[in-house]
Chain A
Amino acid sequence: MKSSSTFSLDKITASEILNGVPHGIAILDTDLRIVEMNGFLEVLTGFSNSDARGVDADFIIRSKIEDKSRQFRKVLETKQNLSVTGDILNQHHKKIPVHFTLSTLRDKFGTVAGLLVFLEDVSAQQSFDMKRLSPEAVDNILGHSPKMQEMFELLPLLAHTDASILITGETGTGKDMIAEAIHKTSKRSRRPFIKVNCGALPEALLESELFGHVRGAFTGAVKDKPGLFRLAQDGTIFLTEIGDLPLALQVKLLSFLDDKEFFPVGGVKKVQVNVRIIAATHRPLRALVNRGEFREDLFYRLNVLRLHLPPLREREGDIRLLLDHFLRKFNSGLNKNIQSFNSKSIDILTSYAYPGNVRELRNIVEYAVNICQGTKVQRKCLPRYLFSPAEVLKKPEPSDQETYITAKTPQEEQSDTAETKTARRTGGWQAVEKEMILEALKKSRGNRSQAARTLGWGRTTLWRKLNRHGLT
């Protein structure tokens, strides 16, 4: 009786120890088949412990080490530890650089009973080395403007805490990159960083994706699914477009943020996970709260640390920096010999409002590099819509203003001013296009062929766009 309780306790302790180590661990028998894997290795390989048990380790770990089988057997024979660097290809089609350490496991009689494979994910280390090689491009986030400098100063502070972060900012300002940079510089950098777009999946599917489900929870749930929260154990989960999260799931997320535990879909047992949450949105969350589309309690829970990314037009001097950066990048990528922008094109590019922010600037430069035949980017190499900036700087529509009128704290008042301005300026590409068509038709006095020529489109294209905008 006594020995049976000791045995059971030992077993639990061993499993706890394996799962407590922040690296992948596999125990193999002398035939090099999987006996046990820890949770980290499950995440790393994408295979569950139950599926992998009894399978040749090579088919689960899928590593690239030279003469692997011979090396594994050599460790079994010589009983000497071995360290090698290679990579593994996981079930999510991702190659991960890994450092392997192999050592033998002996039973109480000293006989070799198996092999312990220890896998350390060195991708974070490699990206850190890359970062050191190019200190100018801190994770490819560029900016010399005072607003960006403030943000760069704030980043390490945000990385060193474990509180939830809410990143706000217009589309194209780099919310995703900032979230990843925070994760990479945090103590969780060696654990998973999982990005979830809350607006990309329907509610039922999103719940199962985030929190997992148990076998038989619904039709088609043929086996347990761990869910992204569990896969991000000890890492960071990045919930982008949090403003699109359905209300029912907001309740579940709030409950998770409070207790750090949740019920998988159809499950009866609570699952506890240690995950840091970074949320991002380009939508005005406060206005959504006022309209009852976003839970106020969740808003406050996520809004522990708030980082507002400035739009490009408020980043003095950064436009020129980014233009040069992307010109160099596309120049080498497309094997061109473009030296710079000429003065006319630079005037247009620096005076443009960039409603799509850095993403739009990048696309404009890519377009220009593709079109340009000479050594300097000229006015004619730029997209045509840039020449009518007056239309881009549209007056706000009443609905846009309404969206931003909310009760604010003084700090929010300050940051939301930028958002309000943006909402006023940005009419979206559709609106710009409609304005361009109307302007061209006005100039041609309703002559569609002439308007199409002015716009640089074919008549059919103009006809299609007129239909789309309801201008026929």
Chain B
Amino acid sequence: MKILITIRGNNVAPRFDLTTEVLIALCENKQILGNPRNIVMTRPSSEDLCALIIKEDINMVVCGGIEESHLQYLAWKKIQVIDSVIGPCTEALKVASADILQPGTILPGAKQKENL
């Protein structure tokens, strides 16, 4: 399974349409394989991001807020979208790879001071 997480700094980016960096990881049997790679986008754009998701053959997208039209588009492309996730991206990746991440999850790391 290929997971893409929209990121800003060390956190899941608050908005899909304003994302300029993504993290892509490969998981198998609830384990992360190798090192995740980061891709920096030239500009924030939902359309470019959707194209990247399709091109990279992503199975699961973890993001913050996402507009209905893009959510529907990705669902139509049979891509699982876990939206409204708040917290550090490493924590999100860990929970997502274990297949237990739910939309709207506020991860414990989101409320920690050092996570500013």
- A residues sitting closer than 8 Å to B (CB atoms) are 31, 46, 51, 54-56, 58-60, 62, 64, 89-91, 93-95
Contacts and interface: CB of A to CB of B under 8 A. Distances in A.
A63 to B, nearest CB: 9
Contact of B83 (A59, A60, A93, A95): A93
B110 A59 contact: yes
B67 A62 contact: no
Interface string B87-116: 000000000000000001010001101011
Given A93-B66, A94-B67, 20 more contacts: A31-B116, A54-B110, A55-B106, A55-B110, A55-B111, A56-B110, A56-B115, A59-B11, A62-B64, A62-B65, A64-B17, A64-B18, A89-B15, A91-B65, A91-B84, A91-B104, A93-B65, A93-B67, A93-B68, A93-B71
Contacts of B106: 51, 55
A408 to B, nearest CB: 43
Contacts of A94: 67-68
B65 A90 contact: yes
A46 B68 CA distance: 14
B64 A95 contact: no
Contacts of A55: 86, 106, 110-111
Contacts of B116: 31, 56
A89 B15 CA distance: 7
Main secondary structure of the interface of A (DSSP, over half): loop
Interface residues of B, number: 21
A244 to B, nearest CB: 26
A95 B86 contact: no
Contacts of A89: 15, 17, 65-67
Contact of B15 (A31, A56, A64): A64
13 contacts: A46-B84, A51-B106, A59-B14, A59-B86, A62-B15, A64-B17, A89-B65, A89-B67, A91-B84, A93-B65, A93-B67, A93-B68, A93-B83
A59 B12 CA distance: 9
B63 to A, nearest CB: 11
A54 B15 CA distance: 19
| Among all A-B residue pairs, the 6 with the closest Cβ atoms | A89-B65, A93-B68, A54-B111, A59-B86, A62-B65, A62-B14
B97 to A, nearest CB: 22
A95 B67 contact: yes
Given A31-B116, A64-B15, A59 B64 contact: yes
